[in-house]
Amino acid sequence: MPRLPQRIAEAGYHPGEPLVLGLQHRDDPPLFHAQGLTATGGTLTATTPVYAASLSKQITAACAALLVQQGALDLGSAVSDWLPQLPAWAEAVRLRHLLHHIAALPPDAEIDALMNGDRTSHGVIRALTRFPALQGRPGSEYVYSNAGYVCLAAAVERAADQPLPGFAHHHLFAPLAMNDTCYWPGPAPAPPGAAPLARRHPAPLSLGDGGVWTTARDLLRWSQALNADELGISALLQTPGRLEDGTPIDYAWGMGVRTHAGHRVYRHGGGWWGLRARLARLPELGVSVVLIAIADDTERLGDLLSGLLDEVT
């Protein structure tokens, strides 16, 4: 792509800033660009494991989709069926509410305030037990919730009768040859060989909302596999949610639903202190774009993604 350096510069990235991107069109060879250094001084490449942040949500949703197809998970079941330790309000929340961020759970900031630094799945769920009521009626409003995906992941583990990292490895990562991808529950802040985040702000160890460590190459492989429906669940993952009154929302299974130049785009972002990530794919064109910036607390990746989508549509 001859305009790639120009697009990177137009988005405000300088040559020394750590940034890696991947781009692929159908069966064409993938195109990668990487620049800058990791926090430990290593060269950032397309095969450097990095934290995926909320890009993990579509992978968690894919695990749920596989279990739905197997008949092991009913999205209409109550969250209380899977997490009986939650208060009585969990009886009114359905798994589909968690999936589409319409569960009326307490705001993430209020949950974080009760975690006392325990950013594990256990810490999130324990904090939820301290809320006596929901913020409204489940299914009535879209409000993005990290805690909801932690609960969804816990339900997936119980339905699969095994920890999420193992289930995802055997059913997703290994079949797709995503050899440098894993869910990481700790106790170390990052998997061996990964590019760590800042010591003051290590990546959360909760699974479901985040928890995945991967590479630009593996993420591109993931995205193209969904475009080609290699797992047999793409139609399900791409189905937008609906409120209880039937109103559609522009969020499917762990991915937003948008359009660009008249083409349907499934996309999601990820962010943490010193990390920004974007993943977008256009199934009808067979196109995928992966963007990861480390040591970045801006929103420039959004501009870069828009510029790259202009190039491929």
Beta strand spans in the chain (E): 19-25, 31-35, 50-51, 182-183, 212-214, 256-260, 263-272, 275-282, 287-294
What's the token pair of residue 61?
A: 């949703």
Three-class SS state of 247: coil
Contacts of 291 (CB under 8 A, 6+ apart): 19, 20, 21, 276, 277, 278, 279, 301, 304, 305, 308
Please say if the pLDDT value at position 83 is more than 90.
yes
**Per-residue confidence band for 274, with pLDDT thresholds at 50, 70 and 90:** very high
Please say if the pLDDT value at position 126 is more than 80.
yes
Which domains are delineated in the chain?
A: 4-312 (3.40.710.10)
What span, in angstroms and rounded, lies between the C-alpha atoms of 196 and 120?
17
* DSSP single-letter state for residue 169: I
Q: What is the pLDDT of residues 168-195, one digit of tens each?
A: 999 999 999 999 999 999 999 999 999 9
Give the strand order in the sheet containing 182-183: 50-51, 212-214, 182-183
> Cβ distance 30 to 218 under 8 Å?
no
The mean pLDDT of the chain is 96
User: Average pLDDT of 50-57?
Assistant: 98
> Cβ distance 281 to 287 under 8 Å?
yes
Tell me whether the omega of the peptide bond preceding residue 187 falls within 30 degrees of 0, making it cis: yes
